[in-house]
């Protein structure tokens, strides 16, 4: 253990400020589920899915087991599989690419923009072939990708758009919620996401009633009617306990996101150190700051320095998709995606969670402003 200079540690993330404030609501919801004796596919699932679709301003939300399955079931519902190619950014959590692989299709990677961290729309068209069936933009770290440009490319090439919205619950682009631009939006309710369950959970959102039915069937043994199986489906459902907790939490999401924006705006305005590059927010975007990502040539040194001061950080992500061992068969090599590689080498995520105190934020900012690299 390093010395914390007598100061209290600032964790990278803490869920207790939000849970403490709504503990009674959560306890009550869980008690209701236990008493109802309905643990899969009951009233809470319906209530949550309706509330989530309404919140996003879309027509259908289908609860699924996790975020990876939300993407996989969207791909399958779109009929994407063997022999097809799907375009996605080279710097994302591995799930985006794995969903494509599990569907039987091939991930085709595109370099991100350095300072927004999102897929570079200008590089998408070069990667489109006659096998391309879909684009999967990721709203990374909570900032929407450039959806008007992406939707325009997709419509010109007749491609399906599946938005990986696992990090961007409530984020907006041009006043419209992330996840509702494309044919499908895939959400994760992993506990640490902006809207998180007390375990695994996910949802697919869509405006297409047929697609909604197909996703629901695919995640329920391929069946819409009990014991009648129209697809080779799997088992991926949002359970009642999580749906009940998520229903209660959804009512607080905007308040929690506003708090993240308060923290991000202090970071953006007050971190002033030439060795540190702050993220850029694109025009017309209202990010929800799942992660506040900076870049520095002295990442490892800065990480250790902050830890000395009791400030915990994280790397998202230390290895880009094209250099992951599981994807060596795709044939990519170092140098193929320079921006993704630079991000993996220089990116550092600062503490960011609902309920960070002004003092804690100030301590992070002060530490960053006092950082001097000797390298």
Ligand X SMILES: *Cc1c(COP(=O)(O)O)cnc(C)c1O
C-beta of residue 310 within 8 angstroms of C-beta of residue 8: yes
Q: What angle do CA 124, 66, 146 make, to 5 degrees?
A: 25
Q: Is 68 in the site for ligand X (CB under 6 A)?
A: yes
Contacting range for ligand X; rule: CB under 6 A; set: 80-88, 89-97, 128-136, 347-355: 89-97
State both tokens at 124.
């998408």
- Burial degree of 215 (CB within 10 A; 0-12, 13-18, 19+): buried
Compare residues 93 and 184 and give the one whose CB is closer to ligand X. Answer: 93
Between the two ends of the chain, the Cα-to-Cα distance in Å is 24
Minimum separation from the CB atom of position 291 to ligand X (A): 9
**What distance in Å separates the CA atoms of residue 1 and residue 20, rounded to the nearest whole number?**
28
Contacting range for ligand X; rule: CB under 6 A; set: 50-58, 87-95, 281-289, 306-314: 87-95
Minimum separation from the CB atom of position 273 to ligand X (A): 28
Compare residues 67 and 182 and give the one whose CB is closer to ligand X. Answer: 67
Contacts (CB under 6 A) with ligand X, residues 113-172: 138, 164, 166-167
Contacting range for ligand X; rule: CB under 6 A; set: 33-41, 62-70, 121-129, 153-161: 62-70
Contacting range for ligand X; rule: CB under 6 A; set: 88-96, 249-257, 261-269, 272-280: 88-96
Q: Which of 44, 190, 337, 354 binds ligand X (CB under 6 A)?
A: 190
Q: Is 92 in the site for ligand X (CB under 6 A)?
A: yes
Q: What angle do CA 62, 65, 67 make, to 5 degrees?
A: 85
- Measured in degrees and rounded to the nearest 5, phi and psi for residue 309 equal -90, 10
Minimum separation from the CB atom of position 301 to ligand X (A): 27
In sequence order, what are the beta bridge partners of 198?
A: none
Contacting range for ligand X; rule: CB under 6 A; set: 93-101, 114-122, 129-137, 350-358: 93-101
Query: Quick one: which of 248, 246, 115 has its CA closest to 193?
Result: 246
Compare residues 167 and 360 and give the one whose CB is closer to ligand X. Answer: 167
Q: Respond yes or no on whether the N-terminal peptide bond of residue 317 is cis (omega within 30° of 0).
A: yes
Residue of minimal CB distance from ligand X?
Answer: 67
Instruction: Quickly count: other Cβ atoms within 10 Å of residue 139's Cβ.
Output: 28
Q: Where is 224: in which H helix or E strand?
A: strand 223-225
Q: Is 96 in the site for ligand X (CB under 6 A)?
A: yes
- Using CA atoms, how far residue 263 sits from 107, 257, 288, 308, in Å, is 35, 10, 11, 22
Q: Is 242 in the site for ligand X (CB under 6 A)?
A: no
State both tokens at 55.
């919140």
Q: Is 292 in the site for ligand X (CB under 6 A)?
A: no
Minimum separation from the CB atom of position 171 to ligand X (A): 13
Residues that bind ligand X (CB under 6 A): 66-68, 92-93, 95-96, 138, 164, 166-167, 188, 190, 200, 202
């Amino acid at each position: 253990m390093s010395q914390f200079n007598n100061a209290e540690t600032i964790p990278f993330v803490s869920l207790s400020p939000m849970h403490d404030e709504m503990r009674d609501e959560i306890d009550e919801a869980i008690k209701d589920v236990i008493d109802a004796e309905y643990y899969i596919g009951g009233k809470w699932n319906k209530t949550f899915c309706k509330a989530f679709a309404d919140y996003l301003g879309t027509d259908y939300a289908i609860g699924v087991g996790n975020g990876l399955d939300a993407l996989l079931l969207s791909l399958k519902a779109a009929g994407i599989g063997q022999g097809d190619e799907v375009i996605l950014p080279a710097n994302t959590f591995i799930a985006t690419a794995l969903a494509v692989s599990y569907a039987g299709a091939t991930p085709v990677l595109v370099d991100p923009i350095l300072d927004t961290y999102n897929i570079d729309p200008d590089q998408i068209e070069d990667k489109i072939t006659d096998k391309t069936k879909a684009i999967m933009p990721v709203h990374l770290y909570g900032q929407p990708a450039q959806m008007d440009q992406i939707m325009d490319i997709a419509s010109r090439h007749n491609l399906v758009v599946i938005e990986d919205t696992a990090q961007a619950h409530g984020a907006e682009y041009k006043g419209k919620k992330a996840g509702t631009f494309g044919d499908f939006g895939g959400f994760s309710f992993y506990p640490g996401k902006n809207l998180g369950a007390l375990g695994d959970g996910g949802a697919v959102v869509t405006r297409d009633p047929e697609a909604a039915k197909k996703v629901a069937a695919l995640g329920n043994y391929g069946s819409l009617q009990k014991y009648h199986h129209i697809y080779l489906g799997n088992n991926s459902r949002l359970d009642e306990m999580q749906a009940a907790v998520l229903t209660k939490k959804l009512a607080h999401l905007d308040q929690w996101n506003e708090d993240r924006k308060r923290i991000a705006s202090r970071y953006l305005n007050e971190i002033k150190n030439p060795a540190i590059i702050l993220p850029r927010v694109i025009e017309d975007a209202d990010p929800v700051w799942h992660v506040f990502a900076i870049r520095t040539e002295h990442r490892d040194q800065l990480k250790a320095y902050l830890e000395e001061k009791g400030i915990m950080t994280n790397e998202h992500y230390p290895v880009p998709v094209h250099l992951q061992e599981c994807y060596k068969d795709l044939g990519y090599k170092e140098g193929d995606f320079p921006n993704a590689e630079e991000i993996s080498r220089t990116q550092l995520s600062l503490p960011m969670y609902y309920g960070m105190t002004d003092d804690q934020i100030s301590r992070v900012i002060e530490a960053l402003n006092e950082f001097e690299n000797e390298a």
